[in-house]
A and B are shown apart, each in its own frame.
Chain A
C-alpha cells in the first residue's frame, strides 16, 4: 500500500462551523505533513509531525489545530475559519522527517463561506 488517503474530498463550511480533515497512510511512515495550496501557487507547509509529535508549526493561526492520534492518522481541526482560508489542503507522509521522499494525498478542497 503506497497511498495517502484524505477525507473528505470537498468541504464547504461557514465561518462559525467546526470541521475536521482526515489523512491516513499505512506505509509505516513516521513523518506526516499538512500543506495549504492556493490556486496556481505551490504548496505551503503548515505543520510537520514526527513520531506523533508536532515538529514544525509554520506560524499557522490557531483556528487550525493539528492532531496526530497515531502513526497512521493525521487530523486537521478547523474552527472559525475565514473566506481566505479557502484552498486545497494536502497531506503528505515520508519514512522519516529528515530527507526522505514525501508522498502526497489527493487533497481536500475547502471552501469557507
Chain B
C-alpha cells in the first residue's frame, strides 16, 4: 500500500527566505506526482504536476523535483512571501490502471512572517 510522508509538518520562515518542502513515497511505481496548495477552509489549488518520466517542473517561484527511484519529491519556493502561507500537499498517482486514486501526504503547514 502506498504511503506518502511530508516533512516537516509545519514550517515558519521570515519573508524572503528560500525554502524546501519534502515529500516521500514508499512505492516508486507511480504515474505522476502533484503538488497542491490549500488555504484554511478552502479547496486545493494545483501547483505543479510532474510525470514519472520528468525530473522537475517549474512555475514562477516554484520548482518541483522528482526522484522516482528513491521515492522523493521536493517543492522549492524561492523568495518566500507572506501570501505563500498555506498548507502544501503532495499526492501521488499509482501506475496501475486504477490511476484516479490519489494518495495524499498529511501536508506541510507553511507560515511566512513579514
Q: B-contacting residues of A (Cβ < 8 Å)?
A: 4, 6, 31, 33, 41-43, 45, 48, 50, 55-56, 88, 90, 92, 94, 97-99, 101-107, 109
CA of A97 to CA of B104 in the docked complex: distance in angstroms? 17
- Give the number of residues in B that approach A within 8 Å (Cβ atoms): 24
Chain B residues, Cβ within 8 Å of A90: 43-44
**CB proximity of A76 to chain B, nearest CB, Å:** 15
CA of A90 to CA of B102 in the docked complex: distance in angstroms? 14
Given A97-B100, A98-B97: A103 and B106 within 8 A (CB)? no
CA of A41 to CA of B109 in the docked complex: distance in angstroms? 11
Contact B89 A42 (CB under 8 A): yes
Contact A105 B43 (CB under 8 A): yes
CB-based nearest A residue for B106: A42
**CB proximity of B83 to chain A, nearest CB, Å:** 18
* Residue of A55, A88, A106, A107 touching B100 (CB-CB under 8 A): A55
B54 within 8 A of A: no
Contact B43 A106 (CB under 8 A): yes
Chain B residues, Cβ within 8 Å of A41: 106
B5-35 vs A: 1/0 string, CB under 8 Å?
A: 0000000000000000000000000011010
Write 9 A-B pairs (CB below 8 A) sorted by A numbering: A45-B102, A56-B100, A90-B43, A99-B99, A101-B46, A101-B49, A102-B46, A106-B42, A106-B43
B38-59 vs A: 1/0 string, CB under 8 Å?
A: 0001111110010000000000
Chain B residues, Cβ within 8 Å of A97: 99-100
Contact A42 B42 (CB under 8 A): no
**CB proximity of B110 to chain A, nearest CB, Å:** 14
B101 within 8 A of A: yes
